[in-house]
Amino acid sequence: MGSGIAGLTFALKAARYAKVLIITKKEQAESNTNYAQGGIASVISSDDSYKLHIKDTLETGAGLSHLDAVEQIVKNGPHLINELIKLGVNFSRSNGKLELGMEGGHSRNRIVHAKDLTGKEVERALLFNVSKNKNIAILEHHTAIDLITEHNLIRKKKNNYTSCYGAYVFDELNEKIITVISKLCVICTGGVGQVYLHTTNPAIATGDGIAIGYRAGCKIGNMEFVQFHPTSLYENKPEDQNSQAFLISEALRGAGAILKTRSGEDFMHKYDARGSLAPRDIAARAIDNEMKKSGDEYVYLDAAQLKEKDIKNEFPNIYKKCLSKGINMLKDMIPVVPSAHYMCGGIVSDLNGKTSLNRLYVLGEASMTGVHGANRLASNSLLEALVFADKAAKQCRAELASSKYVKTENIPEWDSSGTENTEEWVLISQNRNEIKQVMSNYVGIVRSNLRLNRALRRIKLIKSEIETFYKKTRISRELLELRNMAQVSYLIIHSALLRRESRGLHYSTDYPKLNKKYLKDTIITNFTVK
């Protein structure tokens, strides 16, 4: 489920020993991967080391990163970068060698990139290889509704679900629901950015995988840690319900661009000795604070001191986008605002991507592997997806050889009885906008008990309304997304209320300091949270 870097990498490797079916909500290339500008962090240069990359990751993770998971991604990075090159990914080079960028939180230049469109280039190469593989089939415009577990099986009603046997999937183009039975399932559905008004995520990032995993009984971890990218392009336009902010890559700050107030003051050194190269959580809170102090709707990113050839060569997409908005970044400062960017939490997995349900794996942004802890180090996300996809593909091969599977005749088709078409689609758009407003106003960069409890009451009411509507209404993709958005919003709020301290991406005005009592992951399931 999903067609980003995690899903496509896994599919290519699993197709060596099995038939693979990819289901994806939109076109193949529509994913968070496709919009990743920065690159993939990896130890390549002679002045770098695994030890330094691990240290940078652990420091950014604010005490919650799992050492074994961090060591796994760091040490497997270089050879998996080489695999991508063999698959045809054209990374930027200088004098024949890989060009390595710098980003906030890193102590060395270690970002392998393809100019400022790395995700798009990786996605292109992976899709090309997938298209040639006869063992892989792709169903576009298909959305998973729910996983098939024991409670779906005829004559096997259980309270606690232990295994996954497939998924019920909505075929949007033909408006029908199909039952997909599979020996193993892998969730690679990406993030949750669309629950916020300002997000760098595409319209499809509605938290589907996390929501269906939660409903099936998976352990969910660290949902309070939502990373806001400090610098998305500010555009003075009404927000539509599927808006996507244009990302101004962190690599631009790595190259020397400076964050400034609208009056031209370099303000970041008031918050961190690293200035504009501070990690994202610090930079986002600093920008948020400056905006609240001044009443301004944005701050500036000044790249005018960079050389023209460097900007046009390394950041051509950003340069072109800014020009289309009347901003010449060679001489004009870029108006920027923080936007929801990455979910550090998700469905809990082990080092092979396995979830707490048998036969179910999770990869990429929908997962909580332990790598990111309370805050993700820039460009570690594509690296994590690559490494865990590789590990999961190897584990799945072993599992296929040893497992027994349920008889498929015990699995019923989807029951749509009692549902009908409706003309009340305004209810969906209204609820969607309400969720985005509540989450942005009360569960953003800076939080408080007052805001969180108010958000909890609002989201619980909206969630209840949606469930009532869902049970009597014919399935649509918009309704499925709305249901999942309400679910993941509730999980974010509930997790935030459980963490009574400020750590990493979770900052509470009621608990502004670290508390050793909370030096642990926030783990919940649908059997413990109501």
Q: Where are the chain's structural domains?
A: 231-340, 426-524
pLDDT in tens, 412-436: 888 887 788 766 778 888 999 999 9
Give the CATH fold of the 426-524 domain. Methane Monooxygenase Hydroxylase; Chain G, domain 1 (1.20.58)
Distances 137 to 6, 164, 297, 332 between C-alpha atoms, Å: 16, 21, 46, 47
Tell me the one-letter amino acid at 363.
Answer: L
CB 229 within 8 A of CB 337: no
pLDDT in tens, 314-338: 898 899 999 999 999 999 999 999 9
Q: DSSP label at 168?
A: E
pLDDT in tens, 234-274: 987 645 555 788 889 888 998 899 999 999 999 999 999 99
Distances 35 to 16, 117, 234, 456 between C-alpha atoms, Å: 28, 7, 17, 31
Other Cβ atoms less than 10 A from the Cβ of 28: the count is 18
Catalytic residues, by residue number, are 280
pLDDT in tens, 289-315: 898 889 898 999 999 999 999 999 889
User: Rounded to an integer, what distance in angstroms lies between the CA atom of residue 383 and that of residue 519?
Assistant: 25
User: Rounded to an integer, what distance in angstroms lies between the CA atom of residue 228 and that of residue 342?
Assistant: 7
Q: DSSP label at 354?
A: B
User: Rounded to an integer, what distance in angstroms lies between the CA atom of residue 166 and that of residue 184?
Assistant: 7
Query: Dihedral (C-alpha) 315, 320, 326, 331: value to the nearest 10 degrees?
Result: 30
Kindly report the average pLDDT of the chain as a whole number: 91
- Provide mean pLDDT across the span 49-66: 96
Residue 528: the pLDDT is 67
CB 150 within 8 A of CB 161: yes
User: Rounded to an integer, what distance in angstroms lies between the CA atom of residue 40 and that of residue 173?
Assistant: 35
In the CATH scheme, what is the code of domain 231-340? 3.90.700.10
Task: Kindly tell me if the per-residue pLDDT of 28 is higher than 60.
Answer: no
Query: Dihedral (C-alpha) 497, 499, 502, 507: value to the nearest 10 degrees?
Result: -30
Task: Kindly tell me if the per-residue pLDDT of 31 is higher than 70.
Answer: no
Residue 511: both structure tokens together: 């608990």
User: Rounded to an integer, what distance in angstroms lies between the CA atom of residue 81 and that of residue 86?
Assistant: 9
- Provide mean pLDDT across the span 442-464: 96
The pLDDT confidence band at residue 351, using thresholds 50, 70 and 90, is very high
Residue 409: the pLDDT is 64
Percent of the chain with pLDDT over 90: 73
pLDDT in tens, 121-152: 999 999 999 999 999 999 999 999 999 988 76
The pLDDT confidence band at residue 9, using thresholds 50, 70 and 90, is very high
Across the beta sheet with 111-112, the strand order is: 40-41, 111-112, 100-101
More confident residue, 33 or 2: 2
pTM, rounded to two decimals: 0.90
Residue 26: the pLDDT is 79
Task: Kindly tell me if the per-residue pLDDT of 530 is higher than 60.
Answer: no
User: Rounded to an integer, what distance in angstroms lies between the CA atom of residue 128 and that of residue 126?
Assistant: 5
